[in-house]
């Protein structure tokens, strides 16, 4: 039995080594979470090392708590406008998509491996949902910005699909334990998970938001207050029979969008807690996995993993997103980036806790599915984004931003660098068409504050701006790119295009329709930066957008480039 000091020494050493290796892993393209999992896994093979007294029950408890912290942090960063933009397709992916994935994986397990159909459904349910911890971590640390519509779909889906995966896992376990379970019981389980989770998240999220707006605490203490309140919501919802995962994510969205004191510093403190949770969770999950037991099962487990990655996930995503008229390349990318992480491993602990025969096999299969997903899908993020044309230029003119305390709409103090080739470079300040509500605080040139009549390349400009104007400012300060493109405001009407550029007003459309309204309609309510639409002899391209609202449009005469984003049907 290891002493407390030995456990503390080894635990701290494992975390320290994992963090050091994570810096190297990012250079070679290996996801950070794989490093944490591998360190925990191989720590058990070190001769003479103290063994941590981690039981299945303890691992399940730590895994659930860590996932709650990660989901809350993800919710705090999800803007309500972005959530609304992809709510419908993400909800379909989080429900029907999980069911389809589980069914296809289960059918493959039955056909290829000879599983009983109930065990096939159970393993399909365990690996059926994408993992919020993996998705949030990869998108933040992967060094690649994505098209807002695609990134929001992946994040919201991963944040709300856990209830369906939990429900299907529990249902499959009950089918194995009690084959005669009736449909009414199954429907009741699902209704409780979804209904109670939604209600608790909405009601308690509003209460927590109101409390946060009234207390006066330092940023670190406020982050702890929000996290402890979120865990209270998570535990109370689970005790009531609902989905704590759904409730805490929804509560995070509500608190984060009623910012008040939830400043950038609070979000940074929350991010630190989320990374600590992820590191600890993956280390623990590695420690409870026995290398000697999983290696002989590799061929079987990798067969299931291949079916999940190359067949089940792409088919399920295509079936769910085609009705929403996503571009084919976006569907392919979202289908490929169905990351699995800690959720399947935590769900694989449920059969072990329930004493199901063959539960160890299911756990090891789930482990291989997670490992294969992180290594194949996670490591290929940048390449896949470029191939699918959903990558947003990585160089951003935004140097820093901080939320301003205000009783009205959210405002930020944002610092941007005028990049070479930006359209505002060398233009008189009075000729710059700033977004509504933006005010210049100061201009720095060569490290000195100056009073400049015109902005030059490499000037650093501090602006006070509405939070929803930051994306437009970023586009204004970034390199303009194609010199043959003219920039238009989103409030330009179709009549203006007709009068100045000779573009015909589309049949059935009002000439008073603005470009923002027209593009939103043509792009099915989810416009994102880079999307293009042809109108007569010109190409209209979204150059700035936030939460599905178009802010600035580029107009170019002639054929659209091969890389132009054009959703199907547009």
User: Three-state secondary structure along 103-129?
Assistant: HHHHHHHHHHHCCCHHHHHHHHHHCCC
Query: What's the rounded Cα separation, in Å, for the pair 341 and 129?
Result: 9
> Is pLDDT larger for residue 45 or for residue 500?
500
Q: Which residue segments constitute the domains of the chain, with CATH numbers given? A: 4-388 (1.20.1530.20), 395-480 (3.30.70.1450), 482-570 (3.30.465.10)
Element (DSSP H or E) covering residue 84: helix 80-92
Q: Which two tokens stand for residue 104?
A: 């296809």
Residue-level pLDDT at 407: 63
pLDDT per residue as tens digits for the range 222-242: 888 999 999 999 999 989 988
CA neighbor of 284 nearest in space, from 532, 67, 531: 67
Q: Model's pTM, two decimal places?
A: 0.75
Q: How far is CA 41 from the centre of its chain?
A: 26
3-class DSSP assignment, residue 556: strand
User: At residue 48, what are phi and psi to the nearest 5 degrees?
Assistant: 80, 0
Instruction: Give the DSSP per-residue string, 355-372.
Output: T-TTHHHHHHHHHHHHHH
Kindly indicate the confidence band of residue 480, based on its pLDDT and cuts at 50, 70 and 90: low
Q: What pLDDT does residue 56 have?
A: 79
Question: In this structure, are residues 56 and 352 in contact, taking their beta carbons and an 8 Å threshold?
Answer: yes
pLDDT of residue 144: 64
Q: Please identify which residue in the block is written with the tokens 């004191």.
A: 261
Arithmetic mean of pLDDT, 81-104: 89
Lowest mean pLDDT among 188-192, 350-354, 407-411, 531-535: 407-411
CB 389 within 8 A of CB 150: no
SS3 547: coil
Band (pLDDT 50/70/90 cuts) for residue 251 is: very high
Query: How far apart are the C-alpha atoms of 320 and 314, rounded to whole Å?
Result: 10
pLDDT reading at 394 higher than 60: no
How many percent of the chain have pLDDT more than 70? 88
Q: Distance between CA atoms of 54 and 290, rounded to whole angstroms?
A: 12
Average pLDDT over all residues of the chain = 81
The values of phi and psi at residue 367, to 5°, are -60, -45
Measured between alpha carbons, how far is residue 335 from residues 143, 327, 377 in Å? 20, 12, 10
Is the model's pLDDT at 481 over the cut of 70? no
**Confidence band, pLDDT 50/70/90 cuts, at residue 495:** confident
Residue 562's pLDDT is 38
Q: Within the chain, what is the greatest distance between any pair of CA atoms?
A: 83
Q: Residues 365, 128: contact at Cβ < 8 Å?
A: no
Residue 346 has pLDDT above 70, yes or no: yes
Q: How many CB atoms lie under 10 A from the CB of residue 241?
A: 14
Measured CA to CA, the distance from residue 63 to residue 370 in angstroms comes to 15
Look at 431 and 144; give whichever has higher pLDDT.
431
| Whole-number Å distance between alpha carbons of 549 and 546 | 5
Residue 316: per-residue pLDDT: 95
Max avg pLDDT among 23-37, 105-119, 278-292: 105-119
């Amino acid at each position: 039995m290891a002493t407390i000091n030995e456990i503390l020494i080894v635990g701290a050493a494992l975390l320290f080594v994992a963090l050091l290796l994570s810096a190297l892993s990012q250079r070679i393209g290996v996801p950070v979470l794989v490093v944490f999992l591998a360190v925990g896994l191989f720590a058990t093979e070190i001769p003479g090392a103290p063994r941590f007294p981690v039981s299945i029950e303890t691992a399940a408890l730590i895994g659930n708590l860590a996932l709650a912290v990660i989901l809350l942090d993800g919710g705090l960063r999800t803007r309500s406008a972005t959530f609304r933009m992809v709510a419908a397709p993400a909800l379909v992916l989080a429900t029907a998509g999980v069911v389809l994935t589980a069914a296809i994986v289960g059918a493959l397990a039955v056909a290829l491996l000879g599983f009983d159909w109930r065990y096939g459904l159970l393993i399909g349910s365990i690996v059926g949902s994408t993992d919020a911890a993996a998705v949030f971590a990869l998108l933040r640390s992967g060094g690649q910005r994505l098209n807002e519509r695609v990134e929001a779909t992946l994040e919201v889906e991963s944040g709300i699909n856990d209830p369906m995966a939990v429900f299907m896992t529990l249902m499959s376990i009950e089918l194995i334990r009690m084959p005669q379970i009736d449909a009414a019981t199954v429907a009741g389980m699902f209704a409780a998970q979804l209904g109670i989770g939604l209600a608790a998240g909405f009601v308690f999220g509003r209460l927590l938001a109101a409390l946060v707006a009234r207390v006066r605490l330092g940023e670190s203490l406020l982050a702890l207050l929000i996290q402890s309140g979120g865990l209270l919501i998570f535990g109370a919802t689970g005790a009531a029979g609902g989905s704590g995962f759904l409730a805490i994510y929804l509560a995070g969205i509500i608190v984060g969008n009623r910012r008040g004191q939830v400043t950038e510093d609070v979000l940074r403190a929350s991010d630190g807690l989320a990374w600590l949770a992820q590191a600890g969770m993956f280390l623990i999950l590695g420690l409870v996995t026995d290398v000697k037991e999983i290696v002989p099962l590799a061929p079987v487990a990798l067969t299931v993993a291949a079916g999940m990655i190359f067949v089940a996930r792409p088919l399920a995503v295509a079936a769910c997103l085609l009705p929403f008229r996503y571009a084919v390349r976006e569907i392919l990318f979202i289908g490929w980036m169905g990351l699995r992480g800690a959720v399947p491993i935590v769900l694989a602990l449920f059969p072990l806790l329930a004493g199901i025969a063959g539960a160890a096999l299911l756990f090891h299969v789930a482990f291989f599915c997670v490992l294969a997903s992180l290594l194949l899908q996670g490591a290929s993020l940048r390449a896949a984004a470029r191939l699918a044309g959903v990558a947003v230029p990585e160089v951003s003119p935004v140097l820093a931003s901080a939320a301003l305390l205000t009783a009205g709409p959210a405002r930020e103090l944002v610092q941007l660098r005028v990049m070479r080739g930006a359209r505002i470079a060398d233009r008189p300040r009075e000729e710059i068409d700033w977004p509504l509500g933006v005010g210049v605080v100061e201009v720095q040139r060569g490290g000195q504050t100056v009073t400049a009549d015109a902005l030059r390349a490499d000037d650093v400009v501090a602006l006070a701006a509405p939070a929803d104007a930051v994306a437009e400012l970023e586009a204004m300060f970034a390199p303009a790119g194609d010199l043959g493109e003219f920039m238009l405001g989103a409030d330009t009407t179709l009549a203006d295009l007709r009068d100045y550029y000779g573009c015909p007003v589309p049949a059935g459309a009002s000439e008073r329709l603005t470009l923002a309204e027209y593009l939103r309609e043509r792009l099915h309510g989810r416009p994102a930066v880079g999307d293009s639409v042809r109108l007569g002899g010109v190409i209209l391209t979204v150059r700035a957008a936030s939460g599905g609202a178009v802010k600035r449009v580029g107009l170019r005469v002639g054929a659209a480039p091969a890389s132009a984003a054009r959703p199907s049907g547009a």
